Amino acid sequence: MQLCFDPAPLSNDDVRTIGIWGVGGIGKTILARQAFEKIVLERNEEFKHICFLDRVREECGKHGRGLVYLQNYLFKTLPDSNKDDRIQDIPKGKELLSARLRFHKVLIVLDDVDDFEQIKGLADCSWLSPGSRVIVTTRDKTTLKKCQVNDDKIYEVEKLTPGEAFQLFCRKAFKKSHAPDDHYKDLSDKFVEYASGLPLALQVLGSYLNEEKDWAEVLDKLKEYPEKGIDGVLEISCRGLEHTQREIFLDIACFFNGEDEVRVKKILESCGFYPNNGILDLVDKSLITIEHNKLWMHDLLQQTGQQIAVKEFPKEPGKRSRLWVNNKAYKDKESWHNEVLTENTGTNLVEGMFLCLPEMRQIKLDADPFSKMYNLRLLKICNANFSKCPEYFSNKLRLLEWHEYPLECLPSSFGPHQLVELKMPNSRIKQLWNERLPLMENLVQIDLSNSQSLTKTLDFSMVPNLEELILEGCVKLVELHPTIGNLQHLRSLNLKGCESLESLPPISLGSLKTLILSGCSKLTKFPEIVGSMEKLSRLYLDGTAIRELPVTFEKLRGLILLNLKGCKNLHLSRSSILGSLTSLKDLNLSGCSHVELPENIGNLQHLEELDACDSGIRKVPSSISRLNKLKLLCLNRCKDEQMGLQLPNSFSGLTSLYRLNLGQCGLEERAIPDDIDCLSSLLYLDLSENNFVSLPAGISQLPELKQLSLFRCRNLELLPKTLPSKLTHVSARECPMLKNYSSNLTIRADGGFCHIDCGNPCENEENEDYDHFPLPIPEDHAETHFPKYIEERMKSEESFELRFPHSAIIPDWCSEHSSRDSVTIQLSDSTWIGFALFVVFELLVKEDFDNSWEMKDTFCHFSTSEDPLVLHKFNNFRKGSYGLCCYQPRGRQFARQLSTESRLLKASVSTNRPDLKVKGCALQLIYQKDAAAFVRDLSESANGHLNLNFGRHCKGILDRARELSNSGEVTVIGSNLQELGSNSTSNQGSSSQSTTYSNIEQSNGELQLLLSALYEGFNGREKNFHFIFSHPIISRWFIHHYAGGVALCHLPQHLYDDRRWVGFELYVVLTWSSSDYNNPPHSARLHVDLCSPEGRIMHRCIKIHNLGQQQLVVLHIPRVCFSQHELDQCQGVCALFGTSTLDVEVKVCGSRLAYEQDLKELIKALATECTFKGPLDLLYVQARTYVENMVESPLREALTVQREALVPQFREIWEVSKLFWQDLLLNSGPKEQVHEQDFTSRLDYYMCYLEQKQVLMEPLGHLLVHSKHYLLENRDSIQQHDAERYSESLDRQLYIMAENQLSGSYNIAEWKKSIVVLLQIWKEAILSLKGHTISVLKHFDPSAPYNFCFPQKQILEWFKNQSSKSSKIGMELPQNLYDDDNWRGLVICAAFSVHELPTATLEKLGSEMTVELMCHLSTEEYCLNPIPICSTTKEKFKWLHLRGFIWLTYIPRNFLAEFKDITLVQARIYHGCPGLTVEDTGIRLLYKHEVEELKQAMTQCWTSFFDNSDLIRQFVEEDEIIQSSG
């Protein structure tokens, strides 16, 4: 149950196959049946059909045609299946089953499957409707894996635990759950251990030991064969049976497993085996079960029984008591039949022989093989053609079954006095015996069906106990022996198709239940009935020549079914005896041209079906209204040339009637009763080809009516104004007088729809399919009802055609796409249900237009690689582009041609119209599992041309994009365009990222050795140190960069517990901004405060000598500076940099966590990037000084020795290092006093950043596309531009926190100038305020899509006069624009304002976490492919709109290939945010010489944020108030 219905990754509407897997005898079938019964009990209403198919493997092996038998069985159980359909082969079975299963939710259990083809042939998942469940039990897990059943949907049945096994054994052995004493408990434990937890072994062994037996002796026997396991347990139990029990057991194991209980009992009883008690004993011993009146034996027990029979004489099969051939033995070529039959080695020990070959086989005989088998009791032969026919049959035969018996009669030497069944279908027998027979009192069944030479029957007085006689298809049989009328035990008599039979003797068959005389075309008289025949319930007289029914016919008071179909000679008046057959439920009088309904037909109170089509009925008696159980009434074509059918005045009592057919009955005006609305259960009403002018008003009140047929009612003028509430289809074709309706999809009051078909054929197009015309649909209902219409057409396997005006692209859901006029697809398997052709046409405007062009053909020719299929015509085109979808179901006109797998299907579209152009086509195979998605996609495409709400169209695009993005399909093109279909992700700078350094020579090896001594091991975790560089080159090793004097570093969880973490690495760039460049300060002091939300963690003061215009300082803060409490209590730390020296300011700073795996790259960065253009020896001096004075390592001693040996030119370095160390000692002394209030105020500005887990996140900007095919066609161009752009991009970001302007002495002009310089270095900058992202300015590349948002009320001045004060703007395109190599792309800018308070706007967004903006491009007639969007979070939106905001989006030319064919482009801005208004929209083409101008315009716009410091301060103060109040 859990595997069936637990939530799945998709939903509970998926089709699911559940496997139950385990060894034989472990209880798989029991578990499956329990699950099946529980589901039926608790969730039966969910399934249209349920079926439990027992013993699939055994049934496939038992019946010669394998799967076909089970396919037929399953098909017959399905609702609404045609019972006359007969599956002849596996492909036909798949076709019929898939056609029935695909539209209904079903539950099917396939028990004991051993071949995955059995699953594919009975319940393939691709056939099934969503929500269906298939449960499969099997011993072979690979069978499930081949059918793509995942491991999480396979339940392995485990063996019983010792406790469970002990209880089961005791319940069988002692009839209670425990052993009676310790002695039996010890023995029981040993037996339980031997059974290995298998329920079957425990049940059989416990039942066997339940009787008085020497348990110790049984245990000793088991120990003799420990390797046999369960086989040994079962064999000992079977061998311990009494004689008659053992004989019954072996007969069932070898011959009768799965056969009818009553039938087998009769055969066994004639053998003297006392089966009534014997079978019950076997049930009690758990050796067999009785299910649905059939005897069943577990296949392990069956194998055990068969092995016992084989072991009687392993090497001499002719001496075995039982011989059988099944499919397995035949395939393994180990069968006995060659030796026993051909070599004639059979003996009198043989009691039973079943020779059932899977296919016809020639067997050579040198002698009669049965001559020595005079004790043979059971004989069955099928598909065996002997070189000469044996003429000896044992007189002890109880069963003789020989298919296609070759002789004309049975041997005269055969004494059949013990025979119970005689079955010889398809034989050459003319008569059974030439001489008088002995009395055969045991014979209960004779089957001579299709014995086409049979002319004479036996004297039935010799078979007084005969119960079933089958003579179907005996076409030469003229008469039956008169004694047949005296068979008092006969229950079934089948004479169907006995075409020469002319008469029957009087009958007195008191036990007869079924009499079949169908097709006895020469039988003119029904036999007289002598005595009582009240048990006869089913009588088939269809196709006979009987003229009347005898008076004694009324004795058949128990008759339930009477079939008189096609009895054209039968005369029945209104006073006939039919009215006396009060038990009738099913009466068929169709084709009986001389029959009238009896006046007292109302007496048939149980009648459910009355079929009288094409009969002689001219009047329907009024008493018919008393038939309150009647469900089907068919009176089609019941009329004469003068007048129509006369109906009763009232239908008031027919409350169960669901189908009424009154077509072609000549009904005139008011012939239909006014109270037709009394038919409260009516679903289908056929009134075709009648003469009335209008319909009774009561039809509108039929509460359940679904279909109404009024075909060819030529006088009909009006349909009811109000249609029945559940009516879905009205067929009113060829009703030329109809005035108040035309073909349409009419919406009912309950919201459903009804398709009214009022089409009339054109003069020369009598057979034209009306479905090939566009369907007019009310626009206000198109979205909700169009999918229902498509779904209904697909369910009913009907073709249809839909037009999409103003569509110029192939939809993405079409998998096989072509830009030409033909497309070919591979038909890979047999599970698809239909195919859809999509074509894009364009009707051109021609000055020399000729009206005759409209008469020229446009068609599609479908064909396979071998056969042409159909010529499909299109017409009724209008100006502009058209998308056209034509759906063809598989099961109709293509069923034969497309039944073979691995064919190619080709569609070729052509036109003879000079003004019509085919722009592309596509083919899509539709599978049942994809049907719902196809319906959705097709309806969306079809509705796209309607004048619906623009927002609805855009919202649908966004919803679809989300679905595809979530499913992993690449249809969203971001600013980092990757190869279509690729799953690669961009590197976001993980801690272990490697860096490539170019144009830098490898640094001195000794320097790197010094740095390694500092950073690695103990020193890096506990020592503070810093380095000063006179020519700052900021290393790419750092990840986070911040303009101004504040750097943030967010901390991962449990950082302190990560032993790989070494510490923090910080950098800061100082700049001297005085105008007096000739007198720089001698030194400056840098203050560094490392803080958490709780306050300062540490303070450092660094003295810098010989200050230049810019100075770079890199600081290492080891982990020892932090406590675990400090790190666990905060989500980030903040580094505040400041100076106490006039005109010295912090320009930029940065941070990064340092881990062990990062140190080598850091050391390389310090020795290369940071010293580039600067003296390398300065870093060497600093590093050496630290090592000599701080580091405890052998390297320190080596350096000391080296210093003593320095040559004079290096002594200067040593002197410098001494000064550097003195500065370090000075800086480590008492701290310079820092103004605490200033520090606290600065920290408060940035507290918001530290209290957030993720900050400064930029929402995504994407470029959606209408069609992936467009991208595929332009793939090379797009990827080329993308590769060029990537080669120049940087993977680090610059963060600019606007608070920095408030916390320092920054001059606004200098601050903006500094930012402009920084923007030239970093390719992406993020502007934030109080932890909220305000805007992101990325590097602009004219070959890639681009989005830019900024809080500003007016669009950029760059757009000048190319703007519109609305959300929509258009622009004419220059001629030959796409040929202009200087053209780069299209830029659109929109300005937004919010007319409500932020909180009100955000509340209206509800649970939606994003605000999405879209720019929809189109021509006057159709949508263009690219769709730029920008998705921003609710939080960012709150900050953006404080001053209004603009959105600029750019589309490069490589996404605008459609500009080749258009002269006008329209841009329209969409958003789904209430209270948000588009104030202004600008549009402009971008050319090569304008690129830098556009970049400068965006940079100027971005830096303008700092023009109003008061506004920034106001924002900060308001946010602080909000935070404090919260």
Q: What mean pLDDT, rounded, does the chain reach?
A: 79
pLDDT, tens only, 992-1006: 333 333 333 334 577
| pLDDT over 50 at 332, yes or no | no
| pLDDT over 90 at 204, yes or no | no
Tell me what pLDDT residue 950 has: 67
Tokens standing for 197?
A: 């937890």
Number of H helices, E strands in the chain: 37, 61
Residue with the bigger pLDDT between 148 and 1122: it is 1122
pLDDT, tens only, 1068-1091: 988 876 656 566 677 788 888 888
Distance CA 40, CA 893 (A): 38
Tell me what pLDDT residue 1253 has: 38
Stretch 109-121: mean pLDDT = 89
pLDDT, tens only, 216-254: 777 777 666 554 566 777 787 787 789 999 999 999 999
> Which CA distances in Å does 1246 have to 1047, 1064, 1098, 1318?
10, 19, 17, 21
pLDDT, tens only, 581-625: 999 999 999 999 999 999 999 999 999 999 999 999 999 999 999
Residue with the bigger pLDDT between 345 and 847: it is 345
pLDDT, tens only, 366-406: 899 999 999 999 999 999 999 888 989 999 999 999 999 99
Q: Is 537 helix (H, G, I), strand (E, B) or coil?
A: coil
As a three-state string, the secondary structure of 836-849 is EEEEEEEECCCCCC
Residue with the bigger pLDDT between 855 and 273: it is 273
Q: Are 874 and 772 in contact (CB under 8 A)?
A: yes
Element (H, E) at 1084: strand 1083-1092
Stretch 79-99: mean pLDDT = 75
Distance CA 21, CA 1205 (A): 82
Q: How confident is the model at residue 1505 (pLDDT cuts 50, 70, 90)?
A: confident
The owner of tokens 């089609």 is 636
Tell me what pLDDT residue 4 has: 56
Tell me what pLDDT residue 406 has: 94
| pLDDT over 50 at 213, yes or no | yes
Element (H, E) at 496: none
Tell me what pLDDT residue 1302 has: 65
| pLDDT over 80 at 634, yes or no | yes
Stretch 1046-1069: mean pLDDT = 88
Q: What percent of the chain has pLDDT over 70?
A: 75
Distance CA 922, CA 935 (A): 17
Q: How many CB atoms lie within 10 A of CB 434?
A: 10
Q: How confident is the model at residue 1426 (pLDDT cuts 50, 70, 90)?
A: confident
Residue with the bigger pLDDT between 553 and 1093: it is 553
Q: What percent of the chain has pLDDT over 90?
A: 30
Tell me what pLDDT residue 982 has: 30
| pLDDT over 50 at 947, yes or no | no
Q: How confident is the model at residue 1323 (pLDDT cuts 50, 70, 90)?
A: confident
Tell me what pLDDT residue 1289 has: 37
Tell me what pLDDT residue 62 has: 65
634-648, 728-742, 803-817, 1399-1413: which is most confident: 634-648
pLDDT, tens only, 866-922: 555 555 666 655 555 667 888 888 765 555 555 544 467 788 888 878 877 788 888
Instruction: Tell me the β-bridge partners of 1371.
Output: 1465
pLDDT, tens only, 1254-1306: 334 444 455 665 555 444 444 444 444 443 433 333 346 788 877 776 665 56
Tell me what pLDDT residue 266 has: 96
Distance CA 1185, CA 1179 (A): 10
> Which CA distances in Å does 854 have to 876, 882, 909, 914?
8, 16, 17, 10
Closest CA to 920 of 1005, 818, 994, 1021: 818
Q: What is the reported pTM?
A: 0.57
Q: Are 1112 and 1034 in contact (CB under 8 A)?
A: yes
Residue with the bigger pLDDT between 1238 and 639: it is 639
Tell me what pLDDT residue 1175 has: 55
| pLDDT over 60 at 60, yes or no | yes
Q: How confident is the model at residue 524 (pLDDT cuts 50, 70, 90)?
A: very high
Reported as half-sphere exposure (CB side, CA atoms, 13 A), residue 1007 has a value of 19
The owner of tokens 């399919």 is 769
Tell me what pLDDT residue 286 has: 82
Stretch 1007-1021: mean pLDDT = 85
Stretch 730-735: mean pLDDT = 89
Q: How confident is the model at residue 492 (pLDDT cuts 50, 70, 90)?
A: very high
Closest CA to 1393 of 1363, 1328, 1437: 1437
| pLDDT over 60 at 1198, yes or no | no
Q: Are 1429 and 1413 in contact (CB under 8 A)?
A: yes
Q: How many CB atoms lie within 10 A of CB 486?
A: 16
pLDDT, tens only, 1432-1469: 665 555 555 456 788 999 999 888 887 887 888 989 88
Q: How confident is the model at residue 1237 (pLDDT cuts 50, 70, 90)?
A: very low
Report the DSSP pairing between strands 1110-1118 and 800-805.
unpaired
Stretch 1400-1406: mean pLDDT = 48
Stretch 211-220: mean pLDDT = 72
Distance CA 1302, CA 141 (A): 71
Q: How confident is the model at residue 1208 (pLDDT cuts 50, 70, 90)?
A: very low
The owner of tokens 């979530």 is 966
Closest CA to 753 of 742, 745, 743, 761: 745
Closest CA to 1061 of 1124, 1133, 1153, 988: 1153
Distance CA 1247, CA 1241 (A): 10
Tell me what pLDDT residue 869 has: 55
